[in-house]
Chains A and B, each alone.
Chain A
């Protein structure tokens, strides 16, 4: 089975710009979550999508937004980038919204200068 894939692997942006990160869910998974992992810290929950609708959001401002497509792939968009947005962004997929483990991709490392 195909695992979770994310693109790009690395990205460098300037403060104030906008960025789109992409994720393809593991085959058969219909739920996708996004996490932000700052250097030296554990991941922080950004939001989750189930059946193309956002059904949970962490403590992140509205300039963090997302989409889930009918094929269950997903995008994370960040507007008006700030220096503190520099982090590893992890996408995770699972089946349903129950207790099944999250399966993560390799992440996109975003650097904001």
Chain B
């Protein structure tokens, strides 16, 4: 079955840039989406279709995709950005089945 691979953890100091990667064989043909999940809360969509920002999401969040690697970038990371981040995509040609990456714990301190 299709898999998306993320690093388990990323750590940055406040004000630095954090980059979280997501690797998947179908990413050259399929969009990547990114979710933020803070402790005890439902996930929040923060990037859609590789690099688009939903309304209300801070513009320090950005996304990119090249080949089999999608990247979430958090510029000038803040303590409040500490959360788990998940990429989401499909490996199916007809998009019948979707999958989340394993998640990346971002620590900002």
Question: Is B truly associated with A?
Answer: no
Chain B residues within CB distance 8 Å of chain A: none
Chain A residues within CB distance 8 Å of chain B: none
